[in-house]
Amino acid sequence: MTEVDNELFQLIEAVKHSKTYINYDRARITLKSDPELMERVNRYRDENFKLQNSVDDGTLHDRIDAFAKENMELSEEPRVRAFLNAELALCRMLQEISTGVVEGIDFE
pTM of the full structure: 0.87
For the chain, the average pLDDT equals 95
pLDDT beyond 80 at 16:
yes
| Mean pLDDT for the stretch of residues 79-105 | 96
pLDDT band at 105 (very low <50, low <70, confident <90, very high): very high
Tell me how far apart the alpha carbons of residues 17 and 40 are, in angstroms, rounded to a whole number.
Answer: 28
Report pLDDT for 107. Answer: 80
Tell me how far apart the alpha carbons of residues 38 and 31 are, in angstroms, rounded to a whole number.
Answer: 6
CATH value of 3-104 in 1.10.3470, 1.20.81, 3.55.50, 1.20.1500 = 1.20.1500
Report pLDDT for 30. Answer: 97
Which stretch of 13-22, 53-62, 71-80 has the lowest confidence by average pLDDT? 53-62
